[in-house]
Amino acid sequence: MISFLNKTAAVVLFTLVSFAIKAQTNADIQKPEHKIIFQLTSGDSTAHKQLIKQFNNILSVSPTTKIEVVCHGLGLDMLVSGKTIVEDKIKILSEKGVVFNACEFSIKERKVDRSKIISSAGFVPAGIIAIVSKQEQGWSYIKAGN
């Protein structure tokens, strides 16, 4: 009789622990990880400072958020050494996982020497295609600046 009760108690305990683990696993799975792709086309340095502030705000409330920004057209200025006023902040955000990309079409069109792009930035062949590709992968799109 005692053996039967011990086995029953063990089965009940195992079942409860299994449900608790499954509930925790489901909670972890349902925890959203945000993925946001930003498009920057503004050369306005005020817009660049505001964008950096937005990134810091996002990461302060949701530190696992993946953030990428594609700079093209006049927005390329945010990544050009000698033109950008946020290079130090970009470096810090890059170390936190924020990805900054310069559009190679815009580099050619605006005749920017590729070596002038700050070292914290990467490159994409075509800004719009990079943005659309992220959206197709489930990333949320935000237009930054004007």
**Tens of pLDDT along 39-68?**
999 999 999 999 999 999 999 999 999 999
Determine the structural domain holding residue 24 and report its residue range: 1-31
The three-state secondary structure class of 126 is coil
Checking if the pLDDT of 113 tops 50, the result is yes
Checking if the pLDDT of 28 tops 60, the result is no
Q: What is the CATH number of the domain that holds 77?
A: 3.40.1260.10
Residues 85 and 126 in one domain: yes
State the pLDDT at residue 33.
Answer: 85
Residues 67 and 102 in one domain: yes
Please state, in angstroms and rounded to a whole number, the distance separating the CA atoms of residues 101 and 72.
9
In this prediction the pTM is: 0.78
The three-state secondary structure class of 109 is helix
Residues 17 and 81 in one domain: no
- Structural domains in the chain (count): 2
Which residues lie below 8 Å from residue 76, measured CB to CB, with a gap of 6+?
43, 102, 103, 106, 107, 110, 112
Residues 73 and 15 in one domain: no
String of DSSP letters for 9-73: HHHHHHHHHHHHHHHHHHHHHHS---EEEEEE----HHHHHHHHHHHHHHHHH-TT-EEEEEE-G
Residues 53 and 15 in one domain: no
Residues 39 and 27 in one domain: no
The token pair at 96 is 């936190």
Mean pLDDT of the chain: 86
